[in-house]
Amino acid sequence: MYVYQSIARSLFDLGQDTMFGLMGDANLFMVDDYVRSGGGTFVPVAYEGSAVLMALAYGRVAGKVGVATVTHGPALTNCITALTEGARGHVPMVLLAGDTAVSNPHNLQNIDQRETVKITGAGFEQMRSPETATYDVAHAFYRAQVEKRPIVLNMPADFMWQEVEHVKHVFPAFAAPSFVPEGDDLDQAVGMIASAKRPIILAGIGAKDAVPQLKRLADRLEAPLATTLKAKGMFNDHPYNMDIFGTLSTPAAYDAMAKADCVVAFGASLHHFTTDKGALMKGKRVVQINNTATEVSKNYHPDAALIADAGLTADNIVWWLDEAEIPGTGFTAELDMEVLTAHPKGDPAKAAPGCVNFEYALDRLEEALPKDRFLTTDGGRFMTEVWCRMSAPNAESFIATANFGSIGLGLQVAIGAGFAVKGRPVVCFTGDGGFMMGGINEFNTAVRTNQDLIVIVANDSAYGAEHIQFLDRKMDPALSTFDWPSFAEVATSLGGRGVQVNSAEDLEAAIEAIETRDRPLLIELSLDPNDVPRMRI
């Protein structure tokens, strides 16, 4: 068979039945064979970076390596932001990128693709020859799993019509839990935890497979639980869940966290938003447990650290506490959880004419949106309030595109997640600038692929973070404002349904549209740029 056919067959050898991408002269024959001969699902996107974002989300939610494909040159440069988002989020995926033939250096689309990928933090795998194509594909998927980042497989266009014999290669990525540590480090960590009077158990997304063990440890210590932003929803059903730890906490929860004397962090890198630039860790012993050595002390230097599996270590700590007959701390008895987790209610009357109050709209949407939703968010000024007020069923039903500080990534992630959670609605919150930058490109992709997608656009007709900076310095904010088109009308013209919300009454009509939706739905919230909650980070 030809190399392009062998590459397509390799994807099926690796269990890959869904691929996102945009075709060009260096990858179109591979995509054609993947669909026509193999019966694979190919999701064509409008912009190359979208394919990477969709694959990242699909892979994370489906529990496998996501796969995307683009052609060479500008197609790859259009993926830079998306690859960086994936690399910083430690999400495994493989991008099958065509490359200009070596024999054609004057091709307009020719660039050094290795150097282009290098700046993103993603890995680069060169397809070495037609004969090694299947090995190189399998090795790229292996690297993605063990390195926990995107890998770009570079496929020279002049290989595609070379004849080869297909050889199946599958390289398993061994994922046995890390060992439970012994010795001085363990003694030090257990000693700090055992002597604590007000401990808190903090979990990041790296501890997503250890929820029962962490709850058991918290109950044994009589300690509350909290999460990082990425792990939002992990402890929803626990009576002492403080929700997000750090700058996104309620004022009451922040005060309670400040009074703690020990933080035991599992699967978290302790980002400065989590620690409030270290302020929340003052006066506390900090114990960090992570199965990746490079994540320990990456952002904050703990007092003790264990390179170990979260679940095994939590159980081991409980065993030592029982062995030493350490009593519970009683810390949870001091906490009024209703007060600690309550955000101030939005006031519908607090809105300029033609606008809706943002906090009130979020409170109503929290009540009205489907309970089994998968929640995604873009970046930007509006999202911090969304992260605080909107719930997800669990940590595995939430993705925030917050790894690179970019806007314009949220809708693509929502579509990718939608292919992995078939039968469940996906909800995406985005701002007006983010929707214009990336969402408007792909809303029709959601329509074409019949996604159960609900998009809420927070529209203050401005780049809000910049707008507020101008106002804070008593400068004219006019440069940060935009006369956007009606996003609701655009959504309808793209084949979905759009609903404009200019008042609390309009919001109720939008909620009715949620209940009767039969296609991708966009709800546009008209907001006053001078009355939007300030960012909490």
Q: Give the pLDDT confidence of 96-142 residue by residue, as tens digits.
A: 999 998 888 888 888 999 999 999 999 999 999 999 999 999 999 99
Instruction: List residues bridging with 430 in a β-sheet.
Output: 457
In this prediction, residue 535 carries a pLDDT of 55
CB 525 within 8 A of CB 456: yes
Q: Across the chain, what does the average pLDDT equal?
A: 95
Question: Which token pair is 132?
Answer: 């090694």
Report, as an integer, the average pLDDT of 48-64: 97
Q: Kindly tell me if the per-residue pLDDT of 469 is higher than 90.
A: no
Cα angle 517, 523, 527 (rounded to 5 degrees) comes to 160
In this prediction, residue 462 carries a pLDDT of 83
pLDDT digits (tens, 9 = 90+) for 66-96: 999 999 999 999 999 999 999 999 999 999 9
Question: Which token pair is 397?
Answer: 């039903």
Cα–chain center distance at 431: 17
In this prediction, residue 467 carries a pLDDT of 82
Whole-angstrom distance, CA of residue 514 vs CA of residue 523: 9
Confidence grade of residue 537 (pLDDT, cut at 50, 70, 90)? low
Half-sphere exposure of 215 (CA within 13 A, CB side): 13
pLDDT digits (tens, 9 = 90+) for 287-345: 999 999 999 999 999 999 999 999 999 999 999 999 999 999 999 999 999 999 999 99
The strand pair at 285-290 and 374-377 is best described as unpaired
Report, as an integer, the average pLDDT of 177-190: 87
Q: Angle between the 310-323 and 184-195 helix axes, to the nearest 10 degrees?
A: 70
Confidence grade of residue 455 (pLDDT, cut at 50, 70, 90)? very high
In this prediction, residue 456 carries a pLDDT of 98
In this prediction, residue 191 carries a pLDDT of 97
pLDDT digits (tens, 9 = 90+) for 360-394: 999 999 999 999 999 999 998 889 999 999 999 99
CB 324 within 8 A of CB 217: no
Whole-angstrom distance, CA of residue 50 vs CA of residue 124: 19
Amino acid at 487: F
Question: Which token pair is 361?
Answer: 């709209």
In this prediction, residue 477 carries a pLDDT of 86
Please tell me the pTM assigned to this model: 0.94
Amino acid at 460: D
In this prediction, residue 180 carries a pLDDT of 77
CB atoms within 10 A of CB 327: 9
Report, as an integer, the average pLDDT of 20-25: 96
Cα angle 159, 165, 168 (rounded to 5 degrees) comes to 100
Domains detected in the chain: 3-159 (3.40.50.970), 184-341 (3.40.50.1220), 358-526 (3.40.50.970)
**Bigger pLDDT: 181 or 169?**
169
CB 525 within 8 A of CB 358: yes
Residues 339, 340, 341, 347, CA torsion sign: positive
CB 421 within 8 A of CB 396: no
Strands (E) across 144-276 are located at: 150-156, 199-203, 225-227, 241-244, 262-266
pLDDT digits (tens, 9 = 90+) for 498-531: 999 999 999 999 999 999 999 999 999 999 988 7
In this structure, what DSSP letter does residue 522 have? E
CB atoms within 10 A of CB 449: 15
In this structure, what DSSP letter does residue 65 have? -
Q: Kindly tell me if the per-residue pLDDT of 209 is higher than 60.
A: yes
Whole-angstrom distance, CA of residue 1 vs CA of residue 165: 6
Calculate the CA dihedral of residues 330, 334, 337, 338 and round it to 10 degrees.
150
In this prediction, residue 486 carries a pLDDT of 95
Q: What is the 3-state secondary structure (H, E, C) of 305-331?
A: EEECCHHHHHHHHHHHHHHCCCCCCCH
